């Protein structure tokens, strides 16, 4: 087993497709995330040397330590992806996605679909582990649905296949992101294996973070949707739980930073259009946000965004 590339009680930024690009990882890392994770990257895309796929592996020193997450259901493609990462990157770890619930991913036999076939999942993990120069982790869910909760057995399989650590999301695939995450199943996974377990699901503030760590005994926690529009969540948890101070600013100053990171990476045209979804999250909860949200849907320049930040700042 390779050394875990982060300390106990670390807070990780969860991988989210279309969200956790370089700019979002930078802003979360600046405001307290201990570890970032890439968007999930197709092993087939890497195999066929697709430029767009390869670009998802790009990161800067400001985002480190970073885990690169790959997905696929073919062990040879996954092995090839791990070898490609060896040659072209130096992440803290390589994560295998076995938890994505998206219909397109699931129906293709990728992501959470692999929880239905532990033997195939084992071969994939083993093939990646055998060639990876970096620690290997696996991210998965509590099960496919409430009738097929197999996270503990799946975790033991991951450990047997050579995973250095695992991340468990307490929802089933059928729940997607609705309902309640099952903290009991996470606790059972922690008790069932000897490798470190990262807990994911319904961690929204310092209180829920403390409860997750204390109750489950997890090695660390992972935060996804709660960071949308609120990159300060990592700093807030660290301050409350560990008395660790991370400097922050006002939320719309952070939003401006986030936007400029995106422009730096992708240029104004693409960055601003992709930033529209983030604008909606940053505006959540402010007074009279409906008009600003309508404006957000049609921003095309940095100045358009800055105007919205200015107006929003007056309504906090």
Report pLDDT digits (tens) over 167-177.
999 999 999 99
What is the pLDDT at residue 41? Answer: 97
Share of the chain above pLDDT 90, in %: 92
Query: What mean pLDDT is reported for the chain?
Result: 95
Confidence of residue 316 (pLDDT cuts 50, 70, 90): low
**Residue 287 confidence (pLDDT) above 90:** no
Q: Which range is least confidently modeled, 125-129, 200-204, 291-295?
A: 291-295
Mind listing the pLDDT tens digit for each residue in 124-133? Answer: 999 999 999 9
Q: Is the pLDDT of residue 285 over 80?
A: yes
**Tokens 């397109």 belong to which residue?**
104
Given a cut of 90, whether residue 314 has pLDDT beyond it is no
- Reported as half-sphere exposure (CB side, CA atoms, 13 A), residue 160 has a value of 12
3-17 core/surface letters (b: 16 or more CB in 10 A; e: else) = ebbbeebbbbbbbbb
Pairwise CA distance, residues 218 & 198, whole Å = 6
pLDDT given for residue 313 in this prediction: 80
Per residue in 245-280, pLDDT (tens digit) is 999 999 999 999 999 999 999 999 999 999 999 999
> What are the tens digits of pLDDT across the range 19-73?
999 999 999 999 999 999 999 999 999 999 988 898 899 999 999 999 999 999 9
Distance CA 216, CA 207 (A): 14
Active site residues: 100
On the question of pLDDT at 7 being above 70, the answer is yes
Q: Using alpha carbons only, give the angle 80, 143, 153 rounded to the nearest 5 degrees.
A: 75
Residue 277: partners with Cβ closer than 8 Å, 6 or more residues away: 18, 19
CA dist., res. 274 & res. 279, Å (int): 10
Task: Please tell me the distance from the alpha carbon of residue 200 to that of residue 222, in angstroms, as a whole number.
Answer: 5
Is residue 315 pLDDT above 80, yes or no?
Answer: no
Look at residue 1 and tell me whether its pLDDT is greater than 70: no
pLDDT digits (tens, 9 = 90+) for 132-174: 999 999 999 999 999 999 999 999 999 999 999 999 999 999 9
Q: What are the structural domains of the chain? A: 11-242 (3.20.20.70), 251-313 (no CATH)
Could you tell me the pTM of the whole model? 0.95
Provide DSSP, 201-263: SS--SHHHHHHHHHHH--SEEEE-GGGTT-TTHHHHHHHHHH--------HHHHHHHHHHHHH
**Which range is least confidently modeled, 14-18, 88-92, 226-230, 283-287?**
283-287
């Amino acid at each position: 087993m390779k050394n875990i590339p982060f300390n106990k009680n670390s807070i990780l930024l969860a991988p989210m497709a279309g969200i956790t690009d370089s700019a979002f990882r930078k802003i979360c890392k600046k405001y307290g995330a201990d570890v970032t994770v890439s968007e999930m990257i197709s092993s087939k895309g890497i195999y066929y040397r697709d430029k767009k796929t390869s670009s998802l592996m790009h990161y800067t020193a400001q985002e480190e330590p970073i885990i690169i997450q790959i997905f696929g259901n073919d062990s040879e493609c996954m092995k090839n992806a791990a070898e490609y990462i060896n040659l072209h990157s130096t992440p803290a770890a390589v994560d295998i996605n076995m938890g994505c619930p998206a219909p397109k991913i699931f129906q293709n036999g990728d992501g959470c679909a692999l929880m239905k076939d532990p033997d195939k999942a084992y071969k994939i993990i083993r093939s990646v582990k055998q060639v990876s120069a970096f620690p290997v982790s696996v991210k998965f869910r509590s099960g496919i649905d409430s009738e097929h909760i197999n996270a503990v057995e799946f975790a033991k399989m991951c450990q047997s296949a050579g995973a250095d650590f695992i991340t468990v999301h307490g929802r089933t695939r059928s729940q997607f992101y609705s309902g309640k995450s099952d903290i009991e199943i996470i606790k059972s996974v922690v008790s069932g294996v000897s490798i470190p377990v990262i807990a994911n699901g319904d961690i929204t503030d310092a209180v829920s973070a403390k409860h997750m760590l204390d109750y489950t005994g997890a090695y660390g926690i992972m935060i996804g949707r709660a960071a949308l529009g609120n990159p300060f969540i990592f700093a807030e948890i660290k301050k409350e739980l560990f008395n660790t101070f991370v400097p922050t600013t006002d939320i719309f100053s952070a939003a401006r930073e986030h936007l400029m990171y995106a422009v730096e990476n992708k240029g104004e045209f693409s960055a601003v259009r992709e930033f529209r979804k983030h604008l909606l999250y940053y505006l959540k909860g402010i007074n009279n946000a409906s008009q600003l949200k309508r404006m957000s849907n049609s921003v095309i320049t940095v100045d358009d965004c800055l105007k919205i930040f200015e107006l929003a700042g007056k309504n906090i």
